[in-house]
Each structure stands twice: as structure tokens, then as C-alpha cells.
Amino acid sequence: MSRNAKITASGSYAPARIIPNAWFNELLGEDVDSWLRENVQIFERRWCEENESTADLVEHACRDVLKKAGLSPEDIDLLIVATDTPEYISPSTASVVQYRMGLKNAGTFDINTACAGFVTALDTGSKFIQADERYENVLVVGAYAMSKYLNLQDKKTVTLFADGAGAVLLSATAEKDTGYRQSKLITKGEYYDYMGIYAGGTHHCINETRIKNHEHQLQFVKKIPKEINPAVWSELIVDLVIKKESYPMRYIISSLRKST
């Protein structure tokens, strides 16, 4: 029977530090609470403590998963960490967590695809299990410690981002019609210079000038077209459903497209 991957446990962790909207009213000297509540339904967010970082978030989420799954660290064959706020540029965040948790049988690597990190890591972990019988249990984690990269005076970014980690355990299964179905990865690389953390890599090494200009922190450089998310995600979902489902479903979706 063919091998497949299925989610057998999940876990999460959010820092204890709570930052309410009112904190930003005082910080920025204006009412941002009303806009956040009415437009994006953000009321508060969790931020790391000063001595807390991405590896801590990942470790807590992984321990939560192992406890729920009833597994020991030795049972894990692979750890994949998806983050664009890594513990270091090098080595990988996953290697730090592997050592801390005693995942002595696990290979590790990080994935950085920004907001799409977790789903990309989930797809990757599933295919490891499908392709290689040596992988029975794969930990997949998405983690964010963006508070470490925020300019506290930048109203466009500072109020929107928070910290935390979510993790799942992927396990091999031979059960029919269970687990991973399909996926599709796409990239809109033409928007690479619209928003990001642009200093710290080889293109813009950190120096005093870049720190003064906040280039080592998250920046909205250009306004992202508001139609990008609904257009791309809708088309992606429709494409996957058409390829997977029966003719009646394809007909229904085709009709919906024509009507809209």
C-alpha cells in the first residue's frame, strides 16, 4: 500500500506578554485602537519578552505536540522550522531546537517563505514521508518573532505583527483516503521589494547607517495591491479543486466563474 502523511497531533505557544491596542495610542500619540478594532479586528497581541526568541517559541510548541502525541524526542525523524525571523542567520533555528530537545534521531532544516512558510513546510514534510520510508514522524513548525524586527515609531507595521509558534506532527499512514491530498506552491517574486527585512544578508550587510535608517527592521516599501491576496488565493483554491474533484464539481466552479 502507498504511504501517505497525516496530521496526528498539533500544538502551539504564544508568549505571556500581552500588548493591548491602548499601548500604541500612548506610544504613537494618536488613536490607533479604533482603526485596528474596526478594520482588522485586532484588540491585543502577544510579544516575546526581552530574553525570549524564535527558538524558545518553537521549542514550546514542539514540546506541546510531543506531549499530546505521547511520543518521546527519539521518535522524531525530521524537524522543519518555517520562519523569516530566525534565531540566527546561521546556524538554522531547527538545529538549535533539535539540540535543546534531544531530538537525536532527527534531521533538521529551516524554510523561509515569509507568510507562506508553514504551508510550504507542511507540503515538504508530507513529501518526505511519501517518498522515503525512513521518515515516520516529522515535526513541522511555523514560528514568528517579528516584534524583534519592528520599528516602534512606524505606525504602518508596529501595530500589526505578533509572535508565536504553531506545530503539527506528521506521521506515516497506509490508511486509504487519509491524510495529505494535494498541494501547489506558487510565488509572486515580482513583489520581493515591497515589504521585508532588507539588511543583514549579503546584499545589505548591517552597518551604522542602515541601523540608523531602520533597514534592519521590517519595512513597507511600496503599497501592495489589495487585490493580490483574494485573486491569487481564490485562483489557487479553484485550481486545486478542479484537478481533484469530479466533473460535477468542475461544472459548478465553472458556472460560478461565469456568474462572477
**Predicted confidence (pLDDT) per residue in 133-144, tens digit:** 999 999 999 999
- Single-letter amino acid code for the residue at 121: A
For the segment 159-183, the average pLDDT, to the nearest whole number, is 93
CA–CA distance, 139 with 7 (Å, rounded to integer):
10
pLDDT in tens, 24-72: 999 999 999 999 999 999 999 999 999 999 999 999 999 999 999 999 9
Higher pLDDT, 219 or 150: 150
User: What pLDDT does 244 receive?
Assistant: 62
User: What pLDDT does 246 receive?
Assistant: 46
CA–CA distance, 93 with 148 (Å, rounded to integer):
15
User: What pLDDT does 76 receive?
Assistant: 98
C-beta atoms surrounding 38 within 10 Å: 8
**147 has a pLDDT exceeding 50:** yes
**113 has a pLDDT exceeding 60:** yes
Domain edges within the chain: 4-173, 186-224, 227-260
pLDDT in tens, 63-83: 999 999 999 999 999 999 999
CA–CA distance, 35 with 19 (Å, rounded to integer):
16
Which parts of 3-66 are beta strand (E)? 4-13, 17-20, 44-47
pLDDT in tens, 223-243: 888 888 888 888 888 888 876
Q: Could you tell me the pTM of the whole model?
A: 0.88
User: What pLDDT does 36 receive?
Assistant: 95
The packing angle between helices 228-244 and 247-259, to 10°, is 150
Whole-angstrom CA distances from 108 to 8, 76, 92 are 20, 10, 8
Helix, strand or coil for residue 169? Answer: strand
Residues 6+ apart with CB under 8 A from 196: 114, 218, 219, 221
CA–CA distance, 150 with 120 (Å, rounded to integer):
25
CA–CA distance, 205 with 213 (Å, rounded to integer):
13
H/E element, 137? strand 137-145
User: What pLDDT does 37 receive?
Assistant: 95
User: What pLDDT does 210 receive?
Assistant: 80
* Mean pLDDT computed over every residue of the chain: 90
pLDDT in tens, 85-100: 999 999 999 999 999 9
Residues 6+ apart with CB under 8 A from 220: 156, 157, 194, 195
User: What pLDDT does 120 receive?
Assistant: 95
User: What pLDDT does 232 receive?
Assistant: 86
User: What pLDDT does 118 receive?
Assistant: 96
User: What pLDDT does 252 receive?
Assistant: 44
- Single-letter amino acid code for the residue at 107: G
CA–CA distance, 124 with 131 (Å, rounded to integer):
11
245 pLDDT tier (thresholds 50, 70, 90): low
Answer yes or no: CATH 3.40.47.10 is held by domain 4-173.
yes
Helix, strand, coil proportions of the chain in percent (round to 5)?
A: 40, 20, 40
CA–CA distance, 32 with 17 (Å, rounded to integer):
20
203 pLDDT tier (thresholds 50, 70, 90): confident
